[in-house]
Amino acid sequence: MGAVDLPRSTPALTLRPRAGARVRFERECARRVRALRPARVRRRVPGQHPDLNTSVWTDSFDRPIAPQDLVNCYLPADVTVDNGVTFTPHVNASCGYDSGLISTFNSRFFTYGYFEARIYVPDNGAGGVQNWPAFWLISQNQPAGGEVDVMEGLGGPVCGHFHYGSARNPHSWGFCAAGDYSGWHTYAADWERGSITWYYDGVQVGKYVSSNVTSAPEAIWLDYALTDSFGGPGVQLPSSMQVAWVRAYQGSG
């Protein structure tokens, strides 16, 4: 059982009991949780890569990731570590736009658990969030291993999804939460055997119960993608997504 924290200037790991499933989960975790903290954190020097704890996080990805709606590539230089993590996209002559990502894909996978992050996304001017921010869990075997979108901003609304099935027969379940989720919010998912429950700012906003819920190990992924396929204002720049912290509590199912 462990917790993965992003660097910040104050302790990132706090356990505050809340109503519902999280109370039970945190009481179990509070006894044995272990923080994987960065060895050092320093302000990024312009022109250099950010100083992530590479024993936990990577800011690049060596496999193709090209969903048809994506209009950006990913560059480590677009990730800044300073009292949290900031993703800042830019216009790019080679690939249209570039932006940033971080993931535990090269180091940490989880089977079941409680996953949450404190995330800021700017207002799109129409009552929603800018661009395509995402906090998700992804397996090494896609799509059969499943994908849990804890939070995905779709050019305005903020939604949660579970994707599963095969390349020839894909399936998805999902919801979009009511209200404006621009600004700072806390997004979480409680993944258990046979169910996934989503909490936004401590309030349950969705639940999927099915034997289709994956048991495959999943890595944590955060990125700020760009797209013009979801309606709304389309690509909006300048813009930045910020992440204050990420916490992962490993469960037994």
| pLDDT tens digits, 124-168 | 999 999 999 999 999 988 888 999 999 999 989 999 999 999 989
pLDDT band of residue 229 (cuts 50, 70, 90) is: confident
Degrees to nearest 5, angle at CA 199 with 163 and 76: 65
Query: Each residue of 51-82: pLDDT tens digit?
Result: 678 888 988 765 545 556 788 989 988 999 98
d(CA 99, CA 95): 11
167 neighbors 143 (Cβ within 8 angstroms) = yes
Alpha helices for the chain (secondary structure H): 21-32
Query: Each residue of 84-111: pLDDT tens digit?
Result: 999 999 999 988 999 999 999 989 999 9
pLDDT at 4 over 80: no
Half-sphere exposure of 147 (CA within 13 A, CB side): 21
Compute the mean pLDDT over every residue in the chain, rounded to the nearest whole number. Answer: 80
Query: Each residue of 6-57: pLDDT tens digit?
Result: 443 322 322 333 334 444 434 333 332 333 333 233 333 333 444 678 888 9
What residue ranges define each of the domains in the chain, with the CATH number in brackets? Answer: 3-250 (2.60.120.200)
Half-sphere exposure of 165 (CA within 13 A, CB side): 9
CA of residue 23 relative to chain centroid, distance: 22
* DSSP conformational letter for 78: G
Going by DSSP bridges, is the β-strand pair 113-121/219-225 parallel, antiparallel, or unpaired?
unpaired
Half-sphere exposure of 94 (CA within 13 A, CB side): 5
